[in-house]
Structure 1
């Protein structure tokens, strides 16, 4: 990761307009980086740090793609896609997570993600695919199943090693905390998140290329119909890979070009990160005007009387 002087510019503002009058304002920071770890443009601070949350999932899936786990248990791209998902717990999504466990001869009771409110099984939790993937690696490597969420567990250390290699940092420098699902997540700069997605989308690594293919070929598994990640990947037809994280995190990679975008809505608002993403994708020329219009209709028009607008620009470095 290239580290230079601190990069600071004006943050974006996402405004909620009620019949054209500003009612609420969200502040948003964003960074664009390339696959060499260079920060190319920024709104706010490139060094702003927060937890990557579920935007880490494609990189947690590297523990599966790099260990022969897919091949040993006959897992396919749909299985890999659900490992990268923050899904809605639909029947199809829960069944896909179950398929991973079934092929690895692991009971669903081994999942340690919570049972969502009003649901009956941890398979319906939005992170069940990620957990099933971690358990599959444990089965493949004969790691203990019962402690797979502990930071010092071999599967978590394997994931940390993969992320550290991508960012060219010592694993010991990472700060971790438990995500809501119980798995470790990492505290990192927006520039580092953007670099991860630039490397994911670069096409330079076969394991990450397979993860990207799984996500973009099966976008309905990643979040769900009408959800941002699913709709962006579906409508961009394989040009963008997208993964959200909680508390205002959104990361996007431009496939084949080695460019990554990381966004943080400072107050954690989902609507703000979606609006900022659409605005910046248009500004950078990553989406067509027709696609920008469609995404705006879905995610920025909030009713007959309310809409979102974004004010500000990325500063080039």
Structure 2
């Protein structure tokens, strides 16, 4: 992926209003790219870097597809969706992850993601689907199960190669660190995140198209009822693919158009990234006013006395 000169525009400001009076402020950066990595519009610094966190999950899922493990173990689109998920740990989600492991004759104790506080099993961790997908890949390829979270493990090397291929960069250039669940995540420029989601939404590759189909056909698996990703994909009826990440990361693709949007809220606030996403999606014309209004009721109106308001625009490059 080519890197041009550093370009910046005013960032977005997200205000929490209490009965119309400003109480708190968040700052966010956002960028729109195409599959060639070209920055089309932005707010803030397109080359600003952050860990992509759980927004990487749809690309980590490419390993289970590319190795043939998904088809060998007869996994469904619903299984693939939960592999891409940051789910809510409900019984429905935990059972779906258990099914993935069951198909490969694996016990749930092979999962090395943490057991959430107050829960009984690692199956209930929001990253358990991702871990199950990695373990399934390891089982299919006869790779060791005990060290699958290590950056040097073949499954992690394969995932990084998939990402590097999409971004047309050498894999060794990526800076990695452990995510909260223990597996590697990577430091990326916002433009690189947006380019990944442009590829995800382009329909140019069968493996990424399978991921999009799984996520958009089974959005409840991706975050859960009432979750931002789930509700956005459900209401947009397959036109948007969306995945949140921790610390203010939100990535979105316009399905069929090869355009990706990446958002980073500087202070990591979850509420602010949802507000920015709705604000920008509406102005880009990626969602209808009806969808925007429905989601605004849930994610912008925080109480009878509080709401979020976004100030600023994407600048054309």
TM-score range, shorter chain: over 0.9
Distance 1:88 1:60 in 2: 19
The match for 1:49 is: 49
Task: Tell me how far apart the structure 1 counterparts of residues 305 and 36 of structure 2 sit (CA, whole Å).
Answer: 44
Does structure 1 residue 233 correspond to structure 2 residue 209? no
> Residues 166-225 of structure 1, C-alpha deviation per residue, up to 9 Å, x if partnerless?
000000000000000001000000000000000000000000000000000000010011
Q: Which residue of 2 aligns with 1:64?
A: 64
- Asked if 1:174 is matched to 2:193, the reply is no
Determine the C-alpha separation between the residues in 1 that align with 2:236 and 2:38.
Answer: 25
Q: Deviations over 1:68-90 (max 9, x none)?
A: 10111111101100000000000
Match of residue 188 from structure 1: 188
Q: Counterparts in 2 of 1:98-113, with a 5 A limit?
A: 98-113=98-113
The equivalent residue for 2:156 is 156
Q: After the TM superposition, which residues 130-145 of structure 1 pair with which residues of structure 2 at under 5 Å, given as runs?
A: 130-145=130-145
Structure 2 residue aligned with 1:23: 23
**Residue deviations 1:4-38, cap 9 Å, x none?**
11110100000000000000000000000001111
1:44 is paired with a residue whose SS is: strand
The C-alpha deviation readout for 1:224-256, integer Å capped at 9, x for no partner, is 111100000000000000000000000000000
**What residue is the counterpart of 1:298 in the other structure?**
298
CA distance in 2, matches of 1:200, 1:237: 16
C-alpha displacement at 1:288, in angstroms? 0.7
Structure 2, unpaired ranges of 5+: none
What residue number does 1:308 align with?
308
Residue of structure 1 equivalent to 2:270: 270
**CA deviation vs aligned residue, 1:110-166 (integer Å, no higher than 9, x gap):** 000000000000000000000000000000000000000000000000000000000
Deviation at residue 259 of structure 1 after TM alignment = 0.2
Provide the C-alpha distance between the structure 2 equivalents of 1:13 and 1:291, rounded to a whole number of angstroms. Answer: 23
SS at 2:9 equivalent = coil
Corresponding residue for residue 35 of structure 2: 35
Please name the residue that 1:286 is paired with.
Answer: 286
Structure 2: how far apart are the matches of 1:129 and 1:194? 23
- Could you tell which deviates more after superposition, 69-78 or 49-58? 69-78
Secondary structure, in 3 states, of the residue corresponding to 2:302?
A: coil
Aligned to 2:204: 204
CA distance in 2, matches of 1:177, 1:246: 14
CA distance in 1, matches of 2:68, 2:257: 27
Instruction: Map 1:94-133; keep pairs closer than 5 Å.
Output: 94-133=94-133
User: Per-residue deviation at 1:2?
Assistant: 2.6
- Cα distance in structure 2, aligned partners of 1:294 and 1:107: 41
After TM superposition, the score normalised by the length of structure 2 is 1.00
C-alpha distance in structure 2 between counterparts of 1:97 and 1:15, whole Å: 38
Alignment partner of 1:235: what SS? helix
**Cα distance in 2, alignment partners of residues 82 and 17 from structure 1:** 36
Total equivalences in the alignment = 317
Pairwise CA RMSD: 0.5
TM-score (norm 1): 1.00
Runs of 4+ in 1 over 4 A off after TM superposition: none
2:303 partner SS: coil
- Gap runs ≥5 in structure 1: none
SS of 1:221's equivalent in the other structure is helix
SS of 1:40 mapped into structure 2: strand
